[in-house]
A and B are shown apart, each in its own frame.
Chain A
Amino acid sequence: MWIETGIVAIKALVVILMVLNLAGILGWVERKGSALIQDRIGANRASVFGIAAAGLVNTMMADPLKFLTKEDIIPARADRLLHTVAPCVGLFAVTVAFAAVPFGDVLQVGGRTINLQAVPLNIGILFVLAMVSLSVYGVVLGGWASNDRFSLLGGIRGSAQVISYEIAMGLSLVAVVMTYSTLDLQEMARAQGQLIGGWLPAWGILYQPLAFLIFFCAGIAETKRVPFDLPEGESELVSGYFTEYSGVKYLMFFMTDFVEIIAISGLVTTMFFGAWQVPYLQRDGFHFPGGASMLLPQIIVAVMQVLSFMIKVFFFCWLQIMIRWTLPRLRYDQLMRFGWKGLLPVSLLNVLATAVVALAVQG
């Protein structure tokens, strides 16, 4: 009983530490990456004993310290309670979403088989969707509670945008769920361990390429970053919904953005890119298509799978940051047209096509 509880607690801790630390590292990737793209040096101000470590000291030590020690300013006419609650709601919701995302297959220790997923839920994917959809309250509340017109406009834009893109996102997930016939993300991950024709790993992207594109576009829109950063829109709204925030609360909004990026990457990896699967790696070792095989101890297999998951997630985080620094911002009508007249009809067609194929395959 106590051991079981302990195992769940450790798994939850591992997931939270993985997510929050990755969010910190992404801060560095973003600042250094944008500097490289724009041909600047960037993030080179802080150093310890003359060591700047390519901006790591700046972004991983100096910035957090600065945020933590800054004065927390609440505007005089703001709603004090909601102003404080808003950043917490957003960060909480997106972090909790990871509970249902599997980060590995199983770990066998001392006769126990531990499922490497914080909480096995049979509604897994819906749980993640629910939590991501709750994170919009951080934006709405932050925008309203600040009692500032720029914040309010940002909050209103944010709620309209997230609601619009959530529909296309949900519909792209419907097609994915139809393909795997399960809502549990761990089962989806295991289903991708099969081989098509004996050599091609059966990753979701091969079955649902369109759903991947829709989900990824809608996912970037959910993170509210360029090219979909209308809620923030610094050339129009100062800083949008978090204009009136400083110090730790500002940092929390910042973190929410990065955790959302990781959440989208985690879902993309899990549903379309084989989750923690390494091609040809099964629970007892490699089994190559030619018939050759290499047996490995279970612990090494588990470590390789967790690493595989993390590398894939990191790749999609990096991709999103590169997209953010490459594309210009959409206009508001373009944003709405793309969501409602572009993504939504295509995702509906995708659901229809998937249903027809699924029926045909079942015969």
Chain B
Amino acid sequence: MSPVLFVILAAMLIVSALGVVLQRSPIRCALALVTTLFVLAVIFLFLDAQLVAALQVIVYAGAIMVLFLFVIMLLNLQQDVRAMAWLGARVVAVLMGSLFLLAAVRFFVYPLAPRLGPGMGGAPPEGFGSTEQLGQRLFTHYLFAFEITSVLLLVAIIGAVVLAKRKLA
């Protein structure tokens, strides 16, 4: 990935991410989030992670965010509705955000930093990021995590069904 391309994409990513938190209209915030996810997918694409990029767009931008928009439109949230307007919530939000940033820097950026820089750690191995390799890793090395995640999803589905049933009764 050429540095020029990276800087352009990163700038787009930051601008759209700022749009998520700085805009007033909930619909526009959600759309800024869609843009963020899409640009992130493009970055994945240039980093040889084609499958991750496609899943990012299909699952997040194409499905989850559409449901978000669906709910926002159904509730008909107006620009002046700001659920988090009170001071306490803002303080908590800033604290949690900083904590997350700290954790991200400590566990992702810091250990990787020596390997970044010119050349970005060299060319990836043959077949890196391909669907075949990802599938192999997922179903052998990460099988336990994979199965646990599926159980978690199943629990969530059953929970949703139970909640929906109770409302009807």
Contacts and interface: CB of A to CB of B under 8 A. Distances in A.
Contacts of A140: 66, 69-70, 73
B57 interface: yes
A255 interface: no
Interface residues of B, number: 24
A159 B131 CA distance: 29
Interface in A62-107: 79, 82
A160 interface: yes
Given A82-B31, A144-B27, A123 B62 contact: no
B73 A155 contact: yes
Nearest to A170: B58
A358 interface: no
A53 to B, nearest CB: 41
A136 interface: yes
Contacts of B62: 130, 133-134, 136, 166
Interface in A100-142: 121-123, 126-127, 129-131, 133-134, 136-137, 140-141
A316 B4 CA distance: 43
A134 B64 CA distance: 11
A130 B131 contact: no
A152 interface: yes
B73 A166 contact: no
A140 B53 CA distance: 23
B57 A159 contact: no
Interface string B83-124: 000000000000000000000000000000000000000000
B67 interface: yes
Interface string B39-57: 0000000000011011101
Nearest to A183: B131
A144 B74 CA distance: 10
A166 to B, nearest CB: 7
B54 A123 contact: yes
What is the interface of chain A mostly: helix, strand, loop, or mixed? helix
A144 B70 CA distance: 10
Interface string A239-271: 000000000000000000000000000000000
A144 B28 CA distance: 11
A137 B32 CA distance: 13
A163 interface: yes
B143 interface: no
B157 interface: no
A235 B92 CA distance: 50
A237 interface: no
Nearest to A181: B132
Contacts of B73: 140, 143-144, 152, 155-156, 159
Interface of B: 25, 27-28, 31, 34, 38, 50-51, 53-55, 57-58, 61-63, 66-67, 69-70, 73-74, 130-131
Interface of A: 79, 82, 121-123, 126-127, 129-131, 133-134, 136-137, 140-141, 143-144, 152, 155-156, 159-160, 162-163, 166, 170, 183
